Every structure is written in C-alpha cells, then in structure tokens.
Chains A and B, each alone.
Chain A
Amino acid sequence: MDFNFIPLAFGEVFSPTTAAYALAAIGLAVHFGFAGLLNFGQAGFMALGGYAFAVTTVIFGLPVWMGFLMVIAVSVVFALILGIPTLRLRADYLSIVTIAAAEIVRLSVKTPEFSDVTGGSEGINGAGRVFNEATNPLPDGRWGVGVLTYSSAQWWLIIVGWAMVAIACLLVWLLTRSPWGRVLRGIREDEDAVRSLGKNVYQYKMQALIIGGVIGGFGGFLFILPRSLQPDNYGTQMTFFLYTILLLGGAATVFGPVLGSIIFWVVLSLSDGVLSLLVSNGWLPIATTQQGPIRFIIVGVALMLLVIFRPQGILGKKKEALFSA
C-alpha cells in the first residue's frame, strides 16, 4: 500500500501553487473582506497578471522587471475598467460585471486572432524557465527529504512565492490597521454613513479594487511559474476556489487567506490520496474518474457548513462576521 500521499499532502503546505492561491486570496480579502466589494472576477485579475508577465518576457523577450511592471499596469487598468462604471452602483452590480469581465478576458486570450501574442488556446509555455534563468541565485542541485525533494528551480519558486505572500500580508496589515483601513471597514458596512462624514467613498472603493487587483495579478504571475499558462485555468472555478479559501480562513483577516489556502490544498491532496487508496482496494464502489468530483463535493459541503456555523472563518472575529447582518 502506498502512503506517499501523506508527505505529498504535507508538501502542499509550502508549494508555490498554495502561495499563488494565498496571494490571490489576499487580494480578494482586500476587495471582499475589508471593502465589501463583491468581486467575482479575481480569476480575471490572475489571468491578466499571468499573461502580462508571460507575454512580456516569453513572447517579447523583455527583462523580468518589465514583466513585473506590466503585471501592475495591466491589473490597475483592469481595476479601473471594472470600477469606473460600477462602483457608484449598488454592490451586486460589481459582482455581475466582474464575473462577466473575467470570462471576457479568458475567452479573448483564447481567440485564434490573438494567438501570435497570447498563444490562443495553447497558452504560453516557459515563463517559469525564463524567470528561473534570469533570477535564480541558488546553485544547481536537489535538496529535500524523501518524496519532498526539489530541484534548485523549485526551491527558488517556493522562496519567491512565500516572500511575495509575506510582503502582501505586511502591506495589507499596514493598510488595514490604519485610518485608511478604518474608512474601508466603515464603507463595507454602510456607505452612506461614511459619506455623511465627508469621506469620498468612491475613491476608497477604487483604491481597494486596484490594490486587491494588483495583488491578484501577482497571484496569477506566481501561478504560471510552476506550470504553463493555460487560458482555461482561469474560469469561474478558480474564483470560487479563492472564495472558499477566503471564507475558510476568515475574510476580514490578514492571515486568513494564507491559512485558508494551506488547508484547502492539503485537504484536497489528502482526500485525493485517501479516495484513491479506497478505490484501488475496492473499498469504495466508485470509478477512479469519480474521485476528482467527489473531492469538490466535500469542499462544497465544508464551505456550506463553514458559512452557516462559523461565518467569520477560522481566524475572524464573530462580531465582525460579514454574514451576520
């Protein structure tokens, strides 16, 4: 019997993908958790971040720092496009527009018309290689224990990924404990009350949308480093994973998205291992192809239970729960 899935699941704790989701969820925490903006298009920000970096560095062969600038620029522009028409309207309009905009992004980059630049439905390969060649200071080699042995490039990704998560956490912590964060929390609860006190609500919401969007864009950048860039990775499912992560950890907390992302990926990995063990030994009467969907059913049920019984998430404060009102 193969129990390697246990250390492999433990490896999810610090994998670059976990870091990428944590980063994008931190951005979503700024939107939904702190500002109350129902952004259902975080996958769109991730896609644009990924494409901005890959197109700049892989397709046009420009330096990595130019790729970073493009990630920021494209995320800011996308936030402005989403925010200008919708932030003056009621909160639900933003959610409808964002979910549509994220799909527009995904379908646009897939079209054959743009395939010279975006790679069409094939996507773009090699962003991770380019990034590694340009920045990795580690010597060649492989280090680690057992199945958790990684190459120099993989270790570099882990370091970069979690350093970015740490920087984002620090930034969000500094922002939210400040008077700026206080205004944002006020807006989350009642815009008109804050407006009546002389604060430019529209401006604060736009700033929050941009900051969360740029963090989400870098989440997208991180996401493509260990794999190739595939447009279909950025469907609505990705946004819903991010919401699951966010609500799991605690939407209005700084470390909630990080904890949520770790738990999410460890549980997915563990349940996959357990299910395949049960199925391969014939203890569970389902086909191997049904394993994957069953994991997500478990995730969905867990999310429902969480929102009903602990709406503030694992790290949140009961009295600041977003679903209480």
Chain B
Amino acid sequence: MPEKTPVSDILAGEAAPGCAKKDPILVADHVSRHFGGLTAVDVAHVEIPRGSITALIGPNGAGKTTLFNLLTGFDKPNTGTWTFDGQSLGGVPAFKVARRGMVRTFQLTKALSAMTVIENMRLGATGQGGENVFASVIRPLWRGREAEITEQAEGLLARFKLDTKRDDYAGSLSGGQRKLLEMARALMTRPKMIMLDEPMAGVNPALTQSLLEHILSLKDDGTTVLFVEHDMHMVNEIADWVIVMAEGKVVAEGPPSTVMNDQAVIDAYLGAHHDVDLGTIEGRLEVAEEMDSEAVREEAEEEAEAAGIPVEHATPDAEATPAKTPRKKPAAKDEVTP
C-alpha cells in the first residue's frame, strides 16, 4: 500500500474551503452554472493539488458532476475562469481540454460496446496520423504508429487484467470491467490529470480492491487524480485530500481523517438541523432563529398564530411554549364550523 501524500506537502496555508495549495495543477475561480433558477455550481475558488489523489464528495445534487462537466468543457459555465497547468481553459472545447492532458471518465460508463476491447483502447491513443482523413487511406503512413499503440494498449490491458478480453466486444463485458476499460482507455491518452466520475458505482465488491490499487498506481506514475465518489470507505482509503461540495459550493476541505468530522460536512450530508424536529412549529422557529432568516420566521409565526399558539415575536423563547400542536388542527376546525 503506497504512502499517502502528507498534508504538509499539499497545503500552503490553513485548511479551509478554497484554500491555497503548494503546487496546484488546476485552479478555478468564480465558476458558476445556473439551470433556470437553480444554481447547480457556484464555486468561488478551488485548487487541486498536483500529483496526489483528491476526492470530491458531497450529497446528491451537490453539483459535483456539473463541476466536472464545466472544467472539462462538456458544459459551459455562466461565469468563471480556470487554469490547468498554468493555461487558461475557459471556453476551450472538450476535445482540446483532453489534448492538454485533462481526461475524464463518465458516471454512466461510456465503453463503446460495438467495438472490441482493443479497438476501444486504440481509440484513446494520441498522435495517430492515420486519424487524418487524407493520411488514413495510405496504410504505410500509420502502420508503424498503430503497432506502437497496440503494444501500449496491450500493456495497459494486462495491468487492468483485461488482456483475456482483448478481442471481445466491449458490450459483452460486465459493468465493473467496463469501468476498468474506460479508465484504461483514458490512460491511453497519457493524461497529466485524470478525472473519474464515480469509478466505484456498480462495481462488484470483488473488483473494488483491484480498482483501488489501479487508482493508487496512477499516482505512482505521477498522474494527478480527481474523483467523485459516494463510497466513504474508498475515500478514506486512497484520497490524500478531500473537497466537500454542497448546494453547488465548496463547504469544506482537508485530509480525509479530519474532513469527515467537520461540522459543515456532517451538516451537508445529514442536514444542518438533523437533531431538531422540523415537524413542530417550535423546531422551525428555532431554525429560523439560527438562520437569521425573516422569511422563515414569519412563515413559522403565521402558522403558529393560525394554530393558536402564542408567539412572542422575535424571541427564541418558543421552546417554552407548552403544547406541541399538530399542524392540521386549524383545517380540522374549519371543517366543523359550517
């Protein structure tokens, strides 16, 4: 099991959301993406440390995949700039992002099932002149490179234990094998940074351990890894650094051991008021107080008045109110009156 990168090698200052890194490979500023009224991503600043494994976690709908899409050019942000390896990537199309060394995989695996495993792999290779339409008709121009590519592909297939499937159609592979193939295919491009979107989703537990080892071996080769994952065991096991997103924002950062105990992370996953009973008006008033939100308070107070509970305006004394009146009561009264 390789050593984790020590926190002191990653961090340039204090660990906080959007904190500076000693050697960031990817730096993003003010990246936001709105879908109608919904703000899917609104990241003020984030840095991904070079040569280490960074996990991006957060509850469903936190904007992790959207951020992936934005950074890799598969979606266009409403605002924001970001640089990869010192070069700006804003507005750069997806295929050019990949050529610069930032390659991604997809949450829903995109193995090309009507092509064989080896053809999938060859497709990932770079520098094949035979992909030019004019050069393609003259085989001697690309035969040499094709042999090199095939050798590289066979090496990777052996490493990912897919070499026995070399000539099978990718469509005949199991879900876990497809994940492996997609990762191996991405590595054919020899990326500087690989972005894995839920590499463990749907993978048979027997394959999990070998997949973890593959990801760790990427780091040994000097590749930066950024992955989205819901499996906290995996995050703990291999990540050097964890970035937590919730509601489109980065809410916490740190090494896995400390970030799991961070209040913001617990709030993001379990809800900030998981210990308060929101089924009661008192509970909601308490939340309103804490959030310092007029709108929530007014709403709760209106409800309380309707329910006949005395409310001392703008005081947190709601706890003292005796009855835990069910919400439905006024409606029931209305039914009786006529």
A interface list, Cβ under 8 A from B = 171, 174-175, 178-183, 185-186, 188-190, 192-201, 207, 211, 319-321, 324-325
In the complex, what residues of B have CB within 8 A of residue A200's CB?
Answer: 93, 95
| Smallest CB separation, B254 vs chain A (Å) | 30
**Contacts A179-B146, A185-B115 given; does A197 touch B123 at CB 8 Å:** yes
Kindly specify which of B131-139, B281-289, B293-301 makes contact with the partner chain: B131-139
Q: Which of A174, A192, A201 contacts B136 (CB 8 A)?
A: A174
B269 on the A face (CB < 8 A): no
Best-buried of B94, B113, B186 by chain A (most CB within 10 Å) = B94
In the complex, what residues of A have CB within 8 A of residue B105's CB?
Answer: 196
Cβ–Cβ contact B95 & A199, under 8 A:
yes
> Please, how many angstroms separate the alpha-carbon atoms of A23 and B123 in the complex?
29
Please name the residue on chain A nearest to B98 by beta carbon: A198
Tell me if A's interface is mostly helix, strand, loop or mixed: helix
In the complex, what residues of B have CB within 8 A of residue A175's CB?
Answer: 133, 136-137
Cβ–Cβ contact B137 & A198, under 8 A:
no
Q: Which of A171, A182, A198, A324 contacts B119 (CB 8 A)?
A: A182
B interface list, Cβ under 8 A from A = 72, 74, 93-96, 98-99, 103-106, 110-115, 119, 122-124, 126, 128, 130-133, 135-137, 139, 142, 146, 169, 171, 185-186, 188-189
**Contacts A180-B131, A196-B106, A196-B186 given; does A171 touch B137 at CB 8 Å:** yes
In the complex, what residues of B have CB within 8 A of residue A199's CB?
Answer: 95, 131
Q: How many A-B residue pairs have CB under 8 A?
A: 100
In the complex, what residues of A have CB within 8 A of residue B123's CB?
Answer: 182-183, 186, 194, 197
Cβ–Cβ contact B142 & A178, under 8 A:
yes
In the complex, what residues of B have CB within 8 A of residue A186's CB?
Answer: 112, 115, 123
Q: Which of B72, B128, B130 contacts A196 (CB 8 A)?
A: B72
Cβ–Cβ contact B133 & A198, under 8 A:
no
In the complex, what residues of A have CB within 8 A of residue B112's CB?
Answer: 185-186, 189-190, 193
Cβ–Cβ contact B95 & A178, under 8 A:
no
> Please, how many angstroms separate the alpha-carbon atoms of A182 and B114 in the complex?
11
Cβ–Cβ contact A198 & B114, under 8 A:
no
> Please, how many angstroms separate the alpha-carbon atoms of A201 and B93 in the complex?
11
Cβ–Cβ contact B95 & A201, under 8 A:
yes
Best-buried of B106, B137, B189 by chain A (most CB within 10 Å) = B137
Cβ–Cβ contact A319 & B171, under 8 A:
yes
